[in-house]
Amino acid sequence: SSTAHGDAIWAASVSAALHVRAALAEGRWPDAGGGRGLADVRFLELGAGIGIPSLFLAHALGDAASHARPARPGAGEKQIFVSDIRAYHNLKQLLRSVSRHPHRALIKVVPHTWGEACSGREGESDDEPAGQGPASPRGSGFIAAECGGRRFDVVLASDCIYNPAYHDALLQSIARALARPSGRAVVTFSLHANTAPANVYAFFDAERL
């Protein structure tokens, strides 16, 4: 039976996908700095559930790349990383969806529990800027183990803040996963009547950010 957590399409996920479409169309994500173009921008979705924003994004980026000539150096690298908690049954569903996606070469499904270590290359802490080059094979943490040792230009989180008990852990993952100083987070949400609206809005409290 459905629990409506990770196995349903929520309005916040659709909103995130529409935001992604508008940002791409309006050129708000034109490059990742240092001469890197849109084809090099790295995306991470946290708490993806069924991954609607990421799957939509893969269509947009894949279609754009198919019309680009010549192929960029490094083409074929993973660009969109879709995550949900470790040992969560929906990782299997995400893998199945990605396996059927026409641009699956751009996507990687990765396990990540909010708040866990995210450091990249060897000797790098979660509080230090992540390197842009290859990860050390001895690096520790989610980014080194699953994401090639590089942080992300855009982090997406859709309908992930309805439970205030997990706000701090989610904020830790966003802060640790974002590339610095230009990374940006896109957080969309709905109110589910499980707590007072003020408790949900508290996620965006400037003092906590």
List the domain range (segments joined by +) for residue 109.
41-67+77-116+140-208
Indicate whether 144 belongs to any domain: yes
Q: Which pair of tokens denotes residue 15? A: 């909103």
Count of domains in the chain?
A: 1
Which CATH number characterizes residue 107's domain?
Answer: 3.40.50.150
The answer to the question of residue 101 being in a domain is yes
In a domain, 185, yes or no: yes
Per-residue pLDDT of the chain (209 residues; tens, 9 = 90+): 345 455 678 889 999 988 888 887 777 765 545 556 677 789 999 999 889 999 999 998 888 776 554 455 445 579 999 999 886 677 888 999 999 999 999 999 999 999 987 765 444 555 544 444 333 333 458 898 899 889 999 999 999 999 999 999 999 999 999 998 888 899 999 999 999 999 999 999 866 66
This prediction has a pTM of: 0.83
Instruction: Tell me the C-alpha distance between 113 and 128, whole Å.
Output: 20
Q: Are strands 184-188 and 80-84 parallel, antiparallel or unpaired?
A: unpaired
Query: Treating both helix axes as pointing N-terminal to C-terminal, what angle do 52-66 and 11-25 enclose, rounded to 10 degrees?
Result: 20
Beta strand 80-84 with 31-33 is unpaired
Q: Shortest CA distance to 133 belongs to which of 61, 54, 45, 34?
A: 34
